[in-house]
Amino acid sequence: MAELSRFSVTVPEGILNKFDKYINDSGYPNRSKVIVDLIRDCLIKESWQDESEVAGTIVLVYDHHKRELDFKLTKIQHDYHKIIISTQHVHLDHDNCLEIIIVKGSANKIKELSGKIKAEKGIIHSSLMMTTTGQEN
Ligand code: NI
């Protein structure tokens, strides 16, 4: 386990009261655990730059009846096959599909892939979830 450091934080009382209510409602054991998660979120966001090695998922929902959309999405994914670990496709209903694309590679390539998917006509929603490879804790 990593060595722990203690530090003090000064915050407005109203925010602290809301924060404690949040901790209580969300089931976190204490303030420290939440603070560590928030710091980690910050550092992960910061690490998603340029060529740094990162991991994440792209989730998209689209209507597969839209002209050539299936074909275009497959083509884009083949263009980025080196950073795509896995793709799962679920038929949500008669018209709509949900896809989860698991990615690992350089941050700029993954952002580029996510941008190309978002830009396709007929995408109802697409979101990139940025996380870490776990190598830098
Ligand atoms: Ni489908």
Instruction: Outline where the chain has alpha helix (H).
Output: 13-26, 31-47, 69-79, 107-119
Residues β-bridged to residue 123: 62
- Residues 37, 75, single domain; the answer is no
Mean pLDDT of all residues in 2-9 = 91
Same domain, 39 and 106: no
Is residue 77 domain-resident? yes
Domain containing 19 equals: 13-47
- 121 alpha carbon – ligand 1 mean position (Å): 16
Beta carbons within 10 angstroms of residue 83's beta carbon: 19
- Tens of pLDDT, residue by residue over 115-135, are 999 999 999 999 999 999 988
CA distance 110 to 60: 14
Q: Is the pLDDT of residue 136 over 90?
A: no
User: Looking at residue 99, what DSSP letter applies?
Assistant: E
- Residue 73 alpha carbon to ligand 1 centre in Å: 12
Let me know whether 95 and 114 are in one domain: yes
Q: Is the distance from CB of 28 to CB of 84 less than 8 angstroms?
A: no
6 inside domain: no
Q: How far is the CA of 62 from the centre of ligand 1 (A)?
A: 9
- Residue 67 makes CB contacts below 8 A (sequence gap 6+) with 122
Question: Does one domain contain both 62 and 114?
Answer: yes
Is 1 inside any structural domain? no
- DSSP conformation class of 65: T
| C-alpha 101 – ligand 1 centre gap (Å) | 14
- Could you give the number of structural domains in the chain? 2
Distance 91 CA to ligand 1 centre (A): 4
For residue 130, report the distance from its CA to the centre of ligand 1, in Å.
25
Q: What percent of the chain shows pLDDT beyond 70?
A: 98
Q: Ligand 1: distance of its center to the CA of 89 in Å?
A: 6
